[in-house]
Amino acid sequence: MERKFHVFIDIPSELEAALIGLPLPTWELDGSFVAKATMERYRIELAATPRFEETTATLRHALTGKGGGYAVLRLGNLAKALGSDDRFLRLATGFAAGVAVPFSPFPRWPLWKDIGVKVDKDPGKSSGIGYNAFHMDLVNAGLPPDYTTLLCVRPDPLGGGPSILSDAHAAVARLSENCRALLAESAYHYGTFFDLFGVGEEYKPFPILDGEPGEGFVRFTAKMLARSELGQAHADAARELAEELVRGQVSFMLQPGDYLIVNQRRFLHGREALHSGQENVPVSDRRLLLQLFLRAGTGDGSAE
């Protein structure tokens, strides 16, 4: 049964007008994280705009309040006015900084990483054209990002690729006690781990249920079912979780300027397949998202 709860947050018109004329400075990095001086500068300048504090409070509550865990900030009008250039990305970074600390775990990529469409890529990957099953990002990192965020520059022009999300802890709660016990054992592994910053050491093997019941990460990626050698009992338990995630999913299409923020301690995410015929779409017209990760500070990422 599809769960109907999700949050879309519109930007008040007076805030939009103020932000269009607000030239935030270029961010600076301290290692892989946005520097404290940049965070403070953004906070001061954005706090002076009408209803910014109110909007970010609504955003934080949607992400960390009871029953929440993700939100879509609708920045479409700002995207239309500014395009997807640096000025717009600074504003999006400013909103993100109102939630937690933006960072890039990939030293070879900029702060905002492009996720385009490659027809010759593994279809199940984020830049592939197929179904991208439920997962958390950097599942095998000792310190995964607390939030993963996706900014839509262009949706699939052929109409495919809606985002899917599912409440991981609600899915776990519907499983049997025996199944949950198996998921709590350090018997799972997936993927490679190299050249990463700010996410700790590799965690291998790891438990899917990492922490107290209803808290912490649900370290799951459906890809492990086909691409990792797992014992039968542990694979079956993970498969049951995958089925519950699908049973409880919500889905929606991101529009240009929509900014999806996911609390990885609560929700897992993925994407339905893109529409067939991607090979006939010019690369410059294909679906394009920009990804940014966030690290929660003290007191962030927990229930209000």
Please state the domain extents for the chain.
Answer: 8-295
Given a cut of 90, whether residue 301 has pLDDT beyond it is no
Q: What confidence category does residue 219 fall into, taking pLDDT thresholds of 50, 70 and 90?
A: very high
**Tens digits of per-residue pLDDT, 247-275?**
999 999 999 999 999 999 999 999 999 99
The CATH number given to 8-295 is 3.60.130.10
N- to C-terminal Cα distance for the chain? 27
The model's pLDDT over 33-53, given as tens digits with 9 standing for 90+, comes to: 999 999 999 999 999 999 999
pLDDT at residue 288 in the model: 98
When pLDDT is averaged across residues 220-230 and rounded to a whole number, the result is 92
Q: What is the mean pLDDT of residues 70-87?
A: 95
Q: pTM above 0.85?
A: yes
CA distances from residue 67 to 30, 139, 289, 296, 299 in whole angstroms, order as listed = 34, 23, 27, 19, 18
129 backbone φψ class: left, alpha, beta (φ>0; ψ -120 to 50): alpha
Cα–Cα distance, 136 to 144 (Å, whole number) = 9
For residue 1, pLDDT over 80 is answered with no
Q: Look at residue 212 in the predicted model and tell me its pLDDT.
A: 83
Distance CA 280, CA 13 (A): 38
The mean pLDDT of 146-172, rounded to a whole number, is 98
Residue 7's nearest CA partner among 215, 304, 252 is: 252
